[in-house]
Amino acid sequence: MRQYWINFKGNQEGPMSLEQLAQKGLDETAYVWHSGLADWVKITTVPELNDMLNNSAKAAQESPAELPEQEPEAVTEEVPELETEEVPELPQEEAIADEVPSLDNVIESPAPNYGGQQQYAMPVAPQQGPAPQEAPKCPPTNLVWSIIATVLCCSIPGIVGIVFAFLTKKYYREGNLEKAQRMSDYGAWSVIISIMLGIISMPLSCAMNIFKVAM
Amino acid sequence: MSTKRIVLTALAAFVVLLGVVVYFTFDPSNPSLSKYFPKCPFYSLTGLKCPGCGTQRALHEILNGNIAGALHYNALLLVAVPLIGLYWLADAIKKRHPALDNVLNHPAAIITIVVVVIAWCIARNLWGF
């Protein structure tokens, strides 16, 4: 029985069987790894898992009466995959080249031929490779600086900074690194604006106070 | 640590130390001294208290060990200071104990901070904290 590791919404889990995966409510954004793969791949590039996704999506759409027809299909497609480990690899690499150009390094590195006995070395391997959701660290949230800016400098941009910290983490957990990075940048700018406003307003405010008192 | 980082850290430490000395020594709530302290731009423009209003007076009270006084001027600061310490601690021990950092940086935790700050801002303007 092939064991799968999954990386879904920032959480890594495994090992799991195909049946266990079906219970997880995964969608196309999940990444998966099993022995024989050089690195994490999109779940849709693994044929048997793509079928599983499609089946569960169909099952959700269609009437419950048609469910039993879908399930035997999934079981039969599992069988050939168990016999030949290499079979899924070719379509995967093509699919990656078409869909995920950012995973270039996956294609360039020659896929090490893992034997079946290496199953329990698996959790280590994905962490070393450029795992799509593991290796990229969360962009800085600037949360502490936003809080400091809120309390010390200029509250309004400070609060905006905290909101951007929230959005950074939210998009990061959803696996949307690009948006997370943008939110992180906005957050940094909020803090900078807050501090600048504080620095500008300080002497201005003091000067006005002294001027008022003098009058 | 690069030279740039050392210089920046030293500069930050100097500014913080200067602030501590100034706010420990001088009381911003003292009428004859208050004109030398900056006023909140948000309060000057709108007449409404922002979540940070009263921080200078509260800082003076904290530095002089008067927690009740600090609570009176800005209760949020008393919550924020330990919270900031907690965040820094969590960041420092992240590698060996990631649990605390994970909890503190969970989106739910961050949005809670936003809600608390905004609620605090509304409440202090309604009831004059």
AA identity, residue A79? V
CA distance B44 to B37: 13
Residue B20: its chain A contacts at CB < 8 A?
none
Which residues, listed in sequence order, are joined to residue A16 by a DSSP beta bridge? A4
Q: Is the pLDDT of residue B61 over 80?
A: yes
pLDDT at B96: 87
The two structure tokens encoding residue B70: 């600090």
Contact A182, A136 (CB under 8 A): no
Output the 3-class SS for A61-83. HCCHHHHHHHHHHHHHHHHHHHH
Strand order in the sheet with A11-16: A11-16, A4-8, A31-33, A41-42
- A148-177 mean pLDDT: 86
Give the distance from residue A36's alpha carbon to the nearest chain B alpha carbon, in angstroms.
30
Best mutation target among A151, A174, A201, A204 (most B Cβ atoms within 10 Å) is A151
DSSP secondary structure letters along A161-191? HHHHHHHHHHHHHTT-HHHHHHHHHHHHHHH
Q: Give residue-wise pLDDT tens across range B82-127.
A: 999 999 999 889 888 888 888 898 889 999 999 999 999 999 899 8
Share of residues in chain B with pLDDT > 90 (%) = 35
pLDDT band at A84 (very low <50, low <70, confident <90, very high): very low
In terms of Cβ atoms closer than 10 Å to its own Cβ (0-12, 13-18, 19+), residue A130 is middle
Q: Is the pLDDT of residue A17 over 50?
A: yes
> Over chain B, what is the mean pLDDT?
88
pLDDT at A42: 82
Best mutation target among A166, A183, A210, A211 (most B Cβ atoms within 10 Å) is A166
Contact A30, A4 (CB under 8 A): no
Give the distance from residue B3's alpha carbon to the nearest chain A alpha carbon, in angstroms.
22
Residue B84: its chain A contacts at CB < 8 A?
144, 147-148
Which residue shows structure tokens 């900031």?
B84
Give the distance from residue B44's alpha carbon to the nearest chain A alpha carbon, in angstroms.
9
Q: Do the Cβ atoms of B41 and A141 come within 8 Å?
A: no
pLDDT band at A90 (very low <50, low <70, confident <90, very high): very low
pLDDT at A185: 92
A157 preceded by cis ω (within 30°)? no
Q: Give the three-class secondary structure for A42.
A: strand
The residue extents of the domains of chain A are 4-128, 143-214
Contact A184, A151 (CB under 8 A): no
pLDDT at A128: 43
Q: Is the pLDDT of residue A65 over 60?
A: no
